[in-house]
Amino acid sequence: MKRLKAITISIGDELLSGKTLDSNNAFISQQLEMIGIPVRKKLIIGDIAQDIKDALDLAFSQADVVTLTGGLGPTHDDITKSVLCEYFDVGLKLYPEILETLKHRFVRRGFKFSESNRSQAEYPENASLLENPFGTAQGMQINYQGKHLFVMAGVPREMEIVTTGQIIPFLTELTQSSIAIIDIHSIGVPESALYELTKPVFNDYSDLKIAYLPKQGMVTIRVSFPSISPDEDQKLKNEIFTRIRDIKPKNIYGRDDELLPVLIGELLQKNNATVATAESCTGGLVASLITDISGSSEYFQTGYVTYANETKMSMLDVQEQTLIEHGAVSENTVSEMLSGTLKNSGADYAVAISGVAGPTGGSEEKPVGTVFIGVAHKEHQNIRRFQFGGNRILNKEMSAYSSLNMLRLLIGETTQ
């Protein structure tokens, strides 16, 4: 079976100016590589007709799969569709049902439907449409001289859903050399340490491809191997996951879609339990992550964002003496935040966080990145001191996810 190769093309002046990192291409490359289609070149060009045509010439001459993102909006700088019509010498075709949907959407939001939006319902005659549920610009698939061109909007969410929902399934069938993939999620172990810890297990298998993908202080291990059969694949995935998780079960917490907010939700629902949050330095981020999950109102009712000492006292009954003696960023304060949260919210579990997010506010004893995180259930509290880094946003994210992991472990301990 012939091995397919890809070239990706990104259109957009903002990518050339360096103000925007081209994360789209990275996403597409990862997706294609997972199904065994390596990307040979990436081309990034501006909204210039001749440059788009030159890029298509080059891509069709060297690759079997070509992706093209950007330039599909309704404004003057979005020329991709007209260039495609010229390139393939075809006209535009109007999709009346898309036009109706567009008009309806504008009216519902109280805007006038302007004629420049009509173009969002027109596509080159030789294109099949790829549904984009998140935006008005549909994706396109054009087959040309035995090659496959996929065209998408440059908005990441829209590009991602068209890629994973339409393009990858199509290409997976085309290549057959399908690849089985499992993502294994970890938190609190540096990438290099995770690599050393997991290497002996992975060395037991031939034909595994391993990638360590760090994000927000957490690392996902992506394991892929040539597919055998659905049953065999599943068996191998389960075996690998179990062996890797058992190396560090406190830190290696889930696979594939089992991200921490999802796992918390499942655990709480299974046990008919609820959680409430008390946040200082994370400023509401933990509550926001929990409520990113549909159905979270079943187990989350109350969150306290107690940024000021006065609010910690008034909302959570933290003692003034505790704040004076130990400071807001201390085990003692977090302990009282936990008790107050359980008492005042009536929830079964509590999460409380207090720390120095930075960049200011650090001291020798408690430098920027010092965070106390606690979880509680009835009389039982677990409180840990973490030392993160110097970046405010990253400190918030690491604190929030670490608290969810501690909550996961506590629910496990208390519901055996």
User: 324-363 mask for a second copy (x: CB under 8 A)?
Assistant: ---------------------x-----------xxxx---
Radius of gyration of the chain (CA): 26
Structure tokens at 392: 């405010």
State which H helix or E strand residue 67 sits in: strand 65-69
Question: By CB neighbour count within 10 A (0-12 exposed, 13-18 middle, 19+ buried), where does 132 fall?
Answer: buried
Of the residues 172, 391, 409, 414, which one makes contact with a second copy according to CB under 8 A: 391
- Angle (CA) 348 336 265, round 5°: 30
Segment 150-209, which members bind a second copy (CB under 8 A)?
155, 157, 181, 190-193, 195-196, 209
Of the residues 98, 208, 313, 394, which one makes contact with a second copy according to CB under 8 A: 394
Segment 60-79, which members bind a second copy (CB under 8 A)?
73-77
Of 90 and 210, the one with the shorter C-beta distance to a second copy is 210
Of the residues 141, 269, 288, 319, which one makes contact with a second copy according to CB under 8 A: 288
Of 55 and 149, the one with the shorter C-beta distance to a second copy is 55
Binding region for a second copy (CB under 8 A) out of 10-18, 89-97, 229-237, 404-412: 10-18
Within 10 angstroms of residue 110's Cβ, the number of other Cβ atoms is 6
Instruction: Select from 403, 376, 402, 371 the least CA-distant residue to 186.
Output: 402
What region does 369 belong to: left with phi over 0, alpha with psi -120 to 50, or beta? left
User: 246-285 mask for a second copy (x: CB under 8 A)?
Assistant: -------------------------------x-x-xxxxx
Binding region for a second copy (CB under 8 A) out of 169-177, 249-257, 302-310, 331-339: 302-310
| Residue 224 to residue 233: CA distance in whole angstroms | 10
* Contact assessment for residue 372 and residue 398, using Cβ atoms and an 8 Å cutoff: no
Check binding of 364 to a second copy (CB under 8 A).
no
Check binding of 27 to a second copy (CB under 8 A).
yes
Of the residues 164, 301, 363, 415, which one makes contact with a second copy according to CB under 8 A: 301
Rounded to the nearest whole angstrom, what is the least distance from the CB of residue 416 to a second copy in the complex? 28
Rounded to the nearest whole angstrom, what is the least distance from the CB of residue 279 to a second copy in the complex? 7
Check binding of 30 to a second copy (CB under 8 A).
yes
Rounded to the nearest whole angstrom, what is the least distance from the CB of residue 147 to a second copy in the complex? 18
Can you tell me which residue has the tokens 């187990």?
299
Asked if omega into 359 is within 30° of 0 (cis), the reply is: yes
44-75 burial by CB neighbour count: b if 16+ within 10 A, else e? bbbbeeeebeebbeebbeebbbbbbbbbbbee
Of the residues 2, 109, 324, 364, which one makes contact with a second copy according to CB under 8 A: 109
Check binding of 44 to a second copy (CB under 8 A).
yes
